[in-house]
Amino acid sequence: MRILDRYIGQTVLVSIVSVMVVLAALFVLIAFVNEFEKVGRADYTIWQAAMYVLLHIPQNIYEIFPMAALLGTMLGLGALSKKSELVIIRASGVSRMRISLAVIKSAAMLIVLVVIVGEIVAPPALEYANQTRLKALASQLSLNTDYGLWARDGNTFIHVRNVEHDGRLVDINLYTLSDAGRLDKQLHADTARYNGEAWILKNVKESHIGHAGIQQTILPQLEWQTLMDPELVSIVSLEPMSLAVWKLLDYIQYLRSNGLESKQYELAMWNKLITPFTILAMVLLAVPFVFRSQRQTSIGLQIILGFLVGIVFYIASRLAGQIGLVYDLLPVISASLPTLLVFMLAAWQFHRTR
């Protein structure tokens, strides 16, 4: 029986890896085409664009693996079905549950590997890719950290605590040094938005430091000219899903301790924690589908259906997260609901195949 489990598992394993390689190559091609338009700006070369795209492969693998697991399982078991091997296995007394367990055991090894790639390999690779790209496109700017963006504009050092998805900067501090290296001025603004020519700072507190002491000025808004335009901000600002779980947890604690909104990062953390269960749900969904369509469904149709299910799940998970943020739902509910629905659909399909 172990030989049979190993045979089924290896067949599904090879199919999942093959699908993942094809999808990753497709993502790399699309990403490289998008980067190609930036080649030639400043010091950005085609080789740096290629390196930037290649360093995104671990994150791409982490994000597309649920779909790869679904398609790979369907194609692996579908290949066994087309050769009537599933019929023979079932006729020999092997239950559907036993076949499912053989598939799950093989998928579990890949799940562990993908989680390691997504949590350990991908975050530093993305950070290095962003730093390298930033230095090539705008050498005057510094690099991004896990807890905000640091930049330099002449004698002014800039720290932006958070960058919103709409391009708005939050919690900005500007430190201006004299030629002798002394701190001359410190400016803090709650938010900043780009108006097409300059950044408009809101709720500004400006402190001038001199021999006579500190003189503070409070302004409702202030125009700020800097090298840091919205395109460069979008380059260096890290998406929550690109951070490791433990760094997300640290940042969430920082936001909470400072009375700042943290649900977007909580949602990303829960999405990452639920990812292994999402992959498992996709594998379980594929198994009864193949059993129900052993003779009626071609491999081509299986691929189309698998893509449709994967795309619907991807859209549903993103939509559930945004709805949760809008209606102030608990992030754990928004993140887990699509996966729970897939588990329920898989259970229903198993029940129908009895």
User: 300-336: per-residue pLDDT in tens?
Assistant: 676 677 678 778 887 888 888 888 888 888 888 988 9
Residue 137 has pLDDT above 80, yes or no: no
Confidence of residue 25 (pLDDT cuts 50, 70, 90): very high
User: What is the structure's pLDDT at 325?
Assistant: 80
Q: Where are the beta strands (DSSP E) in the chain?
A: 144-145, 148-153, 156-163, 169-177, 183-194, 199-210, 213-224
Residue 294 has pLDDT above 60, yes or no: no
> pLDDT by residue (tens digit) across 61-75?
998 898 888 888 888
Residue 121 in tokens: 């390999």
Average pLDDT over residues 259-285: 87
Tell me which DSSP letter residue 177 carries. Answer: E
Element housing 326 (H / E): helix 299-326
Q: How distant, in Å, are the alpha carbons of 238, 239, 251, 260, 304 from that of 257?
A: 21, 21, 10, 8, 48
Residue 80 has pLDDT above 60, yes or no: yes
User: What is the structure's pLDDT at 205?
Assistant: 93
d(CA 307, CA 315): 12
Average pLDDT, the chain: 82
d(CA 277, CA 279): 5
pTM of the model: 0.74
- In SS3 terms, 31-99 reads as HHHHHHCCCCCCCCCHHHHHHHHHHCHHHHHHHHHHHHHHHHHHHHHHHHHHCCHHHHHHHCCCCHHHH
Confidence of residue 231 (pLDDT cuts 50, 70, 90): low
> pLDDT by residue (tens digit) across 195-221?
888 899 999 999 988 777 788 889 999
Residue 69 and residue 107 in contact, taking contact as beta carbons nearer than 8 Å: yes
**Terminal CA-to-CA distance of the chain, rounded, Å?**
22
308 vs 164, higher pLDDT: 308
Average pLDDT over residues 216-237: 78
Residue 80 in tokens: 């066994």
Residue 127 in tokens: 């950070």
Residue 49 and residue 36 in contact, taking contact as beta carbons nearer than 8 Å: yes
> Which residue from 130, 136, 192, 186 is spatially nearest to 161, judged by alpha carbons?
192
User: What is the structure's pLDDT at 174?
Assistant: 93
Residue 295 has pLDDT above 60, yes or no: no
Residue 99 has pLDDT above 90, yes or no: no
What is the DSSP secondary-structure string of 193-222?
Answer: EE-SSSEEEEEEEEEEEETTEEEEEEEEEE
Residue 189 has pLDDT above 90, yes or no: yes
User: What is the structure's pLDDT at 299?
Assistant: 59
> Which residue from 135, 156, 163, 128 is spatially nearest to 233, judged by alpha carbons?
163
Backbone angles phi, psi at 185, to 5 degrees: -150, 140
The sign one gets for the Cα dihedral 8, 14, 17, 18 is negative
Residue 179 has pLDDT above 60, yes or no: yes
Single-letter residue type at 1: M
